[in-house]
Amino acid sequence: MKIHLQNGSVREFADGMNALDIAGELSQQLKKDALAAEVNGKTQPLWLPVPDGATLNILTFAHEEGKRTLRHTASHVLAQAVKALFPSAKLAIGPAIENGFYYDFDVEQPFAAEDLAAIEKEMQRILKKNARLERFVLPRDEAIALMKEKGEPYKVELIEDLPDGEEISFYKMDDFVDLCAGPHLPSTGKVKAVKLLQAAGAYWRGSEKNKMLQRIYGTAFDSKEALDAYVEKLEEAKRRDHNKLGRELELFTTSDVIGQGLPILLPKGAKIVQILQRFVEDEEERRGYMITKTPFMAKSDLYKISGHWDHYYDGMFVMGDKEMDKKGIEVLALRPMTCPFQFQAYLNRTRSYRDLPLRYNETSTLFRNEASGEMHGLIRVRQFTISEGHLACRPDQVEEEFRGCVDLAKFMLETVGLEDDVSYRFSKWDPNDREKYIGDAAEWERTQNLMRDIMDHMMIPYVEAEGEAAFYGPKLDIQIRNVHGKEDTMITIQIDFQLAERFGMTYTDSDGQKKHPVVLHRTSIGCYERTLALLIEKYAGAFPTWLAPTQVKVMTITERCDGWAKEIDRALKAAGLRAELDLRNEKIGFKIREAQMEKVPYMLVLGDKEVEERRVAVRSRKEGDLGSMELESILAKIVEEVRVKAK
């Protein structure tokens, strides 16, 4: 038979050969590395025969699908090990995920750390046996009977929910059988390194209405070295974690008596936010935005118009409750969003089509009653400040204004140096979950198509996500991953064809008709707390000079240099730099060590020599000793670095 290989060549092999044997004929190394086969674009186990004329790609650990296959098999080994040690455990699901795998179990007792160690040991024992995997297919009733016999109710449920005609496959290794679509490795011995990372609760089928199962996370590699490298990467991520580093660098802290999700920005953290905020507000003004300052709270009346009272009540801090409200007692709520407030500014007077587009911005503090388990450092908090803005425009202006919002967001990302770290998500509604949204289906589809067209024109490389829209409209979310790989929205730009009507916002068009403007909701840099968190992680605390809370430290070797040091400090401050003076009676090595740990970009070291020559010895935090320079030249260098911002 003829097989098309991945390099484009066509080769002849004996009929009925499987992928593993073909790999062996190509090279012994490839046979050793082979984990799965991609046959005509579909991943399958290596031991299945390859049909004549097929296109074959042998997948190794270097391929994403190869990796997944290895880890998927590792998850089965995990299940086998758990069954061996905890025979009463019920199996749920166990997929490969981005950096490893997990398996969910229903057990009476949650797994303790010692359990994980024991399970990992058992896994090593199983892997050593290098058992072969076999695949078999059963008709639905027999498959259900088998899983009932094995006492696996979750598997029975999974089979029952499979659509008709779907092949129901099982994989068997030793005496362990698991329902699984596969593919899998030919034998468990190909998993060379495995590590269990943690145990945690997880709801069956991802719904909080269901029972909470116990999930074990682990990872697996094709070599011990690769596993060690990965573990080292996790350690490095921990060191960069904004929640740890941000506290160590005294950017923020929290207080038990203030409460969850309410971080305190310390002077250094607040300084960075202030720099960003001033920069954003100035840039927005340059782009035609008008600033508003709207109240932090409003009566329930406002939220009833906006829909928040019905769609976002649980997310708000309400002073009072729905019962009081029904009785006519005034109930105020802190604002979870700025939109309805800025809309009131729009409603201040009648608007003409000539007034549009109208761009409002506000550095807006919002309050959201996040569930208690959600809070995380500066990334998920209950009170945050966002570069919020709303644009009212005519239908013919939507595209240009939307482009302007994207352009501004991109400009901000470039300025802070995060442009390469983001991805774009087109967040759509879920037509099957009408409760969550307002407006009719045709309107939703029309708005979404419009948004998609604009983004296509702009060549934005987005992924579509159903069910992620706001309740009033679709969003372009600019997503970013934190140091642990967890994704969050940094920036969002939304098109809203609905709230203007609800709020009675109109403009008089050129034909004299009253019309509702289209509203764009947008942020330019996101919320400052979250952005600060991402910047801490991006730069591991060593902020670009324009953002560094302290930009220059002037430090003396002996007190004979104090006079010159003070002169320099004054000159730096006069040039608008954030300088600090270290005149303490300490050794220079000590002062430098401290400044290095604080990640101050520049250190100016002064000894008798510098005083005599009226020069400065410059040290950069990343390049070390730069030698002696004229004060004017280092000052100009730093000022220029601040001017160009990022990097």
- What part of residues 374-403 is at the interface with RNA (CB under 7 A)? 374-377, 379-382, 384, 386
635-638: long-range contacts, CB 8 A cutoff, minimum separation 24 = 635/571, 635/572, 635/575, 635/577, 638/545, 638/551, 638/552, 638/572, 638/577, 638/601, 638/602
User: With binding defined as CB under 7 A, does residue 592 bind RNA?
Assistant: yes
Q: How far is CA 215 from CA 39, 52, 101, 138, 184, in A?
A: 33, 42, 10, 28, 21
230 counts as binding RNA under rule CB under 7 A? no
Nearest approach, Cβ of residue 374 and RNA (Å): 4
Give the strands of the sheet with 10-12, arranged side by side.
Answer: 10-12, 2-5, 55-59, 36-39, 42-44
Supply 620's token pair: 């950069």
- Of 189-228, binders to RNA (CB under 7 A) are 198-203, 206-208, 212, 214-215, 217
- Closest to RNA by CB, 68 vs 368, is 368
Min dist CB 235 to RNA, Å, is 13
Q: What's the min distance (Å) between Cβ of 450 and RNA?
A: 20
Q: Pick from 93, 554, 617, 642 the residue near RNA by CB under 7 A.
A: 617
Interactions with RNA, residue window 263-282 (CB under 7 A): none
Contacts with RNA in 485-524 (CB under 7 A)? Answer: 486, 488-490, 492
Distant-in-sequence, close-in-space partners of 387: CB < 8 Å, separation ≥ 6 = 277, 280, 281, 284, 361, 363, 364, 523, 524, 525, 526, 527, 528
Question: What is the DSSP secondary structure assignment for residue 190, as one 8-state letter?
Answer: G
Of 313 and 353, nearer to RNA (C-beta) is 313
Residues 6+ apart with CB under 8 A from 93: 103, 104, 154, 158
Our CB check for RNA shows the closer of 384 and 543 to be 384
For the chain, the C-alpha Rg in angstroms (whole number) is: 31
Asked if residue 532 binds RNA (CB under 7 A), the reply is no
Spell out, one character per residue from 68 to 97, where the chain touches RNA: x when CB under 7 A holds, - when not. Answer: ------------------------------
Question: Minimum distance between the CB of residue 7 and RNA, rounded to whole angstroms?
Answer: 38
Name the minimum Å distance from CB 345 to RNA. Answer: 21
Span from 22-30, 326-334, 363-371, 392-400 in contact with RNA (CB under 7 A): 363-371
Member of 254, 274, 277, 294 binding RNA (CB under 7 A): 254
CA-to-CA distance for 78 and 198, rounded, in angstroms? 13
Least distance in angstroms from the C-beta of 544 to RNA: 17
Nearer to RNA, 43 or 427 (CB): 427
Residues 6+ apart with CB under 8 A from 197: 100, 217, 218, 219
Binding to RNA by residue 137, rule CB under 7 A?
Answer: no
Tokens for 26?
A: 């190509």
Q: Which of 145, 597, 636, 646 binds RNA (CB under 7 A)?
A: 597
529 binds RNA (CB under 7 A): yes
As measured in angstroms, the least distance from the Cβ of 477 to RNA is 6
- For position 353 contacting RNA by CB under 7 A, the verdict is no
* Residue closer to RNA, measured from CB, 540 or 575: 540
Say how far apart CA 157 and CA 81 lie, in whole Å. 23
Q: x/- string (CB under 7 A) for RNA, residues 471-490?
A: ------x------x-x-xxx
Look at the block and give the residue holding tokens 């202006």.
397
Which two tokens mark 513? Answer: 């008709």
C-beta closer to RNA: residue 386 or 391: 386
Q: Is 593 in the site for RNA (CB under 7 A)?
A: yes
Of 470, 519, 536, 548, the residue at the interface with RNA (CB under 7 A) is 470
Query: Which DSSP string corresponds to 518-554?
Result: EEEEEEEEEEHHHHHHHHHHHHTT---TTT-SS-EEE
> What would the two tokens of residue 146 be?
């088998």
- Out of 120, 241, 362, 496, which residue is the one contacting RNA (CB under 7 A)? 241
Nearer CB in complex with RNA: 44/338: 338
- Report the relative pairing of strands 579-582 and 552-556 from DSSP bridges: parallel
Q: Which of 114, 77, 78, 70 is nearest to 96 (CA)?
A: 70
Q: Which of 541, 619, 634, 638: binder of RNA (CB under 7 A)? A: 619
Q: Closer CB to RNA, residue 416 or residue 592?
A: 592
Nearest 10 degrees: Cα torsion 429, 430, 434, 440: 50
Q: Which residue is associated with the tokens 């076999």? A: 134
335: contact with RNA by CB under 7 A? no
Q: Judged by CB, which is closer to RNA: 222, or 529?
A: 529
- Is 65 one of the binding residues for RNA (CB under 7 A)? no
With CB under 7 A as the contact rule, the residue among 43, 44, 73, 243 that binds RNA is 243
Residues 126 and 169: beta-carbon distance below 8 Å: no
Residues 624-643 within binding reach of RNA (CB under 7 A): 624-625
Stretch that binds RNA, among 166-174, 451-459, 509-517, 552-560 (CB under 7 A): 552-560
Identify the burial level of 160 via C-beta atoms within 10 angstroms of its C-beta, where 0-12 means exposed, 13-18 middle and 19 or more buried: exposed
DSSP 8-state code for residue 174: T
Count residues binding RNA (CB under 7 A): 76
Q: Which residues contact 335 (CB under 8 A, 6 or more apart)?
A: 294, 295, 296, 297, 298, 341, 364, 366, 367
Strands 55-59 and 2-5: what pairing? Answer: parallel
Q: How far is the CB of 523 from RNA (least distance, A)?
A: 8
Nearer to RNA, 164 or 623 (CB): 623
Q: Give the Cα separation of 369 and 318 in Å (integer).
A: 9
For residue 283, state whether it binds RNA (rule: CB under 7 A).
Answer: no
Distance in angstroms (rounded) separating the CA atoms of residues 538 and 417: 9
Secondary structure of residue 637 in the 3-state scheme = helix
Any contact of residue 557 with RNA (CB under 7 A)? yes
Q: Which of 423, 587, 614, 632 binds RNA (CB under 7 A)?
A: 587
Contact call for residue 333 and RNA (CB under 7 A):
no
- For RNA, the closer of residues 115 and 222 by Cβ is 115
Contact 479, 454 (CB under 8 A): no
Site for RNA in 92-111 (CB under 7 A): 110
- In this chain, which stretch among 5-13, 294-302, 321-329, 616-624 interacts with RNA, using CB under 7 A? 616-624
Smaller CB distance to RNA: residue 347 or 597? Answer: 597
